[in-house]
Structures are given as C-alpha cells and as structure tokens.
A and B are shown apart, each in its own frame.
Chain A
C-alpha cells in the first residue's frame, strides 16, 4: 500500500489541501472520519440556512451561517469554500446581496466538492474512489 501522504498528494488542488488537513488532525484517521461524518450532517442544513437568508434578505443570518460554514471549511482546508463563504459572510456584514445567488451556487459547488474529496480521504484504508 502506498504511503497516505503520497495518495493525498493526488487529491491536492486549489480548492483543497489534504496534507494540511492530515497534519491538523495529527494523522488521526478516526478523528478525521468523525469530523467528516459531522460535516456531512452539518453542511446541508448550513447551505439551506444560507440560501434562505439570501432569499429572505436576512443579513444577520447570512453573516452568521456563512461564518459558521467558513469555520468548518477552514478546519478542512477547503480553500475555495472558505473564500466563497467568507465573501457571503462579508455581504451579510455589509448588508449587500449583490450577486449573492451566484456566490451561493459557487459555495454549494465547492462544499460538495470538498465533501467528495473528504470522503476520498477517509476511504484511505480502502482503495480511493
């Protein structure tokens, strides 16, 4: 079996830094699996809340839920997801919804991508999909 770091290298992209994540969890696969499992439960709700906030024009909720999603994405080293969630958070803070819908779609895309590569990571003990 290849060394995990070698395999993680293949997952590395502008959107995701698997090595940084692996280092952050101190190479603890069990912990990573727990975190990915929690994220899988959390992110659909967070995306829904952000979408609703945009639709309802609730800047506070937009700022709050974007910040929360950004925090999680930060821990998973999902660079693009962090950037887009941060932009939406800022829009909430500045009471602006300009291009919010497009940004939300981008966020959704990045989060789904992040989820996909995270699942790939935790499947290391099995062959990567």
Chain B
C-alpha cells in the first residue's frame, strides 16, 4: 500500500486523467476500479459494459485513456478495437484481454493501441504505470504528429526549394518549389542527382559542404523544362539525419539582376558627379582663356592677331562643348524644360540625321498619331537624337537602316524594362554590327568608347540628359544584327497643346554706361570680364570675394545697376553677396555666374529666375547680351 500511496502523490503532480473502462466482466471491472480507487485524485474512471455505450460516450466526452476489453457482449476481438480507434483519436488505448494472443497484441499496438495487457498479469501498480505511460506516449505521439504536420506544411508551401539528399547528392525528398526550380515534376526530381542540374558542376561546393558540415554557395542551375539558367543561393546542412543532407535553394536570378542594375546605376551616378566636378573647374579655365581671346580679338591691330584670337576662341568653344556634355552626363546642365512633341523635335533634326547617316544608309522615321507630349529641354533632346544617330552610323560602316520610331507606351509592373507608368518611347535602331553583353553593359559610361578616336561622351551624355528629364534609357543589342536604344520619357499630356514656338531672338545693344559690381575670385576671369565691360562703356567695380564686394557696395555712393557674382568663393560666398545687396540695394539687378548648373545654385540657397543665371563658360558677347537684357528689362 505504501508503494501505491507514493504513486498517487506522483500522479497528483500531473494531469487528472479521464479514463474510460470498457469491460463486460463485472469481476474484472471491480478489480480494475478497485485498483484505481487509490489514486482517485489522479484518475477519474467511467465504466461501460458495451461497445455501443462506449462509442456514445466517446462522441460526447474527451477521454485521455481507454481501458478496452476486446470481448464484449456486442463486439468481439479485433473488431472491438477497430471500431473504437477512429472515435478516440486523441485518447490512449490500453487493450485488456484474457487472451495472451501475441499476434493480436502486435496487431492492435501496430494499429495504434498504446499497450496490450493480459488479465491476471498485472497488479494495481503496474496498471497505473501502464496507464500513465500510455497517456504520456500518446501525448508525445500527438505532439510529434502535430510537429510533423507543421513541418510538412512548411515544406510543401515554402517558396524556397527544399531538397533532402543522400551522400552523393541524389534527391531523396523535394518540395514542389525545388522541383519547379529544376523544371521537373516532383516525382521526376526525386531520385535525380542535384549535380545533374548544376551548370558548372557542384563537386567543389559539395566537398566543401560535406567537410564543413554546413555552408552556403551560389551556383547556376539549368531548368530542364526550357533550358533557362537560374542562379540559386544554396544553404546546406549535412546529416540532419544520418546520411541525409538538407539543401535549401532560393532562386535569386531576378534579385541578382536588380543588384547589378543598382550597382551600375550607382557607378554611373558616381562617375556623373566626378564628371560634373571636373567640368566645373574646366569651365572656369575656359572662361579665362575665352575671355582673353575675345579681348585679343577686340583689341587686335592686324588681321593676323585677329585670326589667332579667333582660333583660340574656336578651340575654347569646342572644349566648352565637351564640358557641356560632361555636365549633361552629370545632370548638372541647366535645363529649360517645356512641353514637347517628340515628332516635332525629330523633324527639327531630321535633316542632320540624314546627313549623319550618309548616303549608304537608309533612314526611316515613324511616329504614331496622337503622340503624347513630354517635358524636356528641346536642345538636349536634339543632342540625344544626334548622338544616337551618330552612334548608329558608326555601327553601320557598310550602310544599313537607321530607324527612329516614336510611340506612346504604357508600362505595367514586371512587364517592361521601365517602372510602371505612361511614357513616350523614342527608339533609335540600327542594323549594324551590334555589341556583345560586356560592351552593352558599359556603353553609357563616360569616356568608354569602342571607336578609334571616340571621346566616349556621346552615349553617356544621352544617358545623363534622359535621366535629368526623368526618363529611362535602355539598349538591346545582338552581334551581327544591330542595336536599339529605347528612350522612355514620362508622358505629361496628350497632344492637345502644341509646344510653344521658339521666341525670336531680340537684338540687344551691348553697350552701356551703368555701374556694375563684378565679383569673382578668379582674378584672370574677373580682370578679363572687367576689361571687356569697361570697353563696352560700363563703370565696373571689381571684388575678389564676397566680403570685399560688400565693403565696396557699402562705400559706393552712387547707384549700382547690376551685381555680377560668382557663387563659390572664400570668406563671403555668392549667397552672402546676393542677400546683402537685396537688403541694402534692392533696386540692383543680380546676375549669378557659375560653372555649376542651377541645382548647385539652389544648394547654395540662392533662388533666382533662370534669366538671372549664366553658366560658365560664356563668351563676352553672351555676357554683354545678358547684361543689356537684364538692365533694359529692369528699367
């Protein structure tokens, strides 16, 4: 009795078990209930004598354990068990039998009984232990079943491919995602070797995985269905079971493509910044060279001197044109965007396109009716078209067809090479030599050229202009077939509004007598510009930085009609000068000059009409015209 009491205490610490005793022998029933009487706090026992009663109770009550005699008044042998089983999915079944029938015992245990006890072979202690163990085993089995169901659900529904292989990489189990990756039905994949699908073999990776016990690697596989190559990221764990290895595969083909695009984009951005910075410094130098050349030309005493000055000016113009392209690539060119009909822009430059293409090539220009309008700088777009046309000509040394096509384009998610939206598509296609993928990937880099003597700025300029206009540019090329450049510009509106006609250039008189405060830290440029303006008749106050400019302005008693100021200067910068002048001399006009584009001006906190900005390098002719225009409009 002491042992029993001890067992009761143990049982009190565990769950109260709800037990159903199915027994038609009243002596057995009395014995069992008597044996279980001790641990009343641990067990709650219901007794029925017939199977029908048991089934009825099981439909209403959840029992933890069923003590089942197989031979009842209304059922006998294995049938009793098989009828109880489906109605007691969560209960542990202990078969109690008067027959020491090994075959029956094994059968019932195999089918789901937790134990098979022969009457007369157990005492109370053994029975209690059997009940408790049966319950715990059933709980464990249930937990395991649920765990397996969870794992199975994850396995089946995972978007990643999950493969279990044996030692040589043969697939023993695979989910549908994995089968889909290799382009096979799951049943076909099971039994196949992973190595079969790897494009460049897996021996080294596999050896490394096996040695390390786990690892990760990226490799290409070939899809059986269509032969497509897919890049997979494989996470490997060896011996998740003896001789069984887990490979989780993720298709990262699209991800890698996006990463590559991002890297390329970042690279272009960085190169663009660099190019813009170089162009700025170069523009200042060109301004000085050009300025003095103009002065030389103006003050030349003979034809020889004038011609030499002209040559210098021509050279600076060419150099300025190059830096302009660099600025365009770096998206630092000043834009004058307006609503444009691309077909009209193309029409404007078509004669040049025909000339560029040459007599051996055919030019086809086509535009759809009702082409949408875009917001862009006409001059820049013309430059893009001419650059692409020149590129096409170079790709067709023996002639071919250059096609310019314009159409409205709607991009939907994942169905186009550009983000979703409405665009006007300008395509420039040639039937030339084409490019291999390596060249194609670098084609928009500045200074990258496959042409002898090419400066490598044409396509990079086109790239910069398109990006600055909020558009996208893409290239498709095939060796021996040709190349197509697609430019997508956001469609702003349908062509209800025609782009305004260009204003006629007003002739201006460059001469004047007003006082101008000229501020620039580049001594040579300041001096040359000052000399030119004085030659035009202006009274020029010169300052080498913002601080000096403010002092001069404060001490000058007369009216200062115009302040011409550089932006980036030591001590007080252009913004300081402009702010001071607006406070102290609000009647003075302002003209800001800079080697940077308007975005740099805005970064320095100076907000001006675009007419009050002049980008370096400029000719003194342009400076003179700008000054006259500002002063005349102001007065």
Contact = CB atoms under 8 A, between A and B. Distances in A.
A82 B38 contact: no
A14 to B, nearest CB: 16
Interface of A is mostly: helix
Contact of A71 (B25, B34, B125): B25
Nearest to B119: A74
Interface string A26-45: 11100100110011001000
B34 A67 contact: no
A77 interface: yes
- Size class of A's contact patch? 20 to 34
B623 interface: no
A64 interface: yes
Interface in B325-347: none
Contacts, number: 69
Given A26-B125, A64-B71, A75 B120 contact: yes
Given A23-B123, A26-B4, A74-B120, A68 B25 contact: yes
A77 B120 CA distance: 7
Contacts of A24: 31, 120, 122-124
B26 interface: yes
A28 B124 CA distance: 11
A75 B123 contact: no
A26 to B, nearest CB: 4
Contacts of A108: none
Nearest to A31: B34
A71 B27 CA distance: 9
B555 to A, nearest CB: 120
A66 B590 CA distance: 123
A34 B30 contact: yes
Given A38-B26, A67-B99, A26 B124 contact: yes
A122 B273 CA distance: 108
A62 B226 CA distance: 73
B120 to A, nearest CB: 3
B50 to A, nearest CB: 14
Contacts of B4: 26
Interface in B273-291: none
A35 B123 contact: no
B35 A26 contact: yes
Which among A39, A42, A74 has the greatest number of chain B C-beta atoms within 10 A? A74
Contact of B31 (A27, A68, A75): A75
Contact of A25 (B25, B26, B31, B121): B31
26 contacts: A23-B123, A24-B31, A24-B122, A24-B124, A25-B34, A26-B4, A26-B35, A26-B123, A31-B34, A35-B27, A35-B30, A35-B31, A38-B27, A38-B30, A39-B27, A42-B26, A42-B27, A67-B99, A68-B24, A68-B25, A71-B120, A72-B25, A72-B28, A75-B27, A75-B28, A75-B120
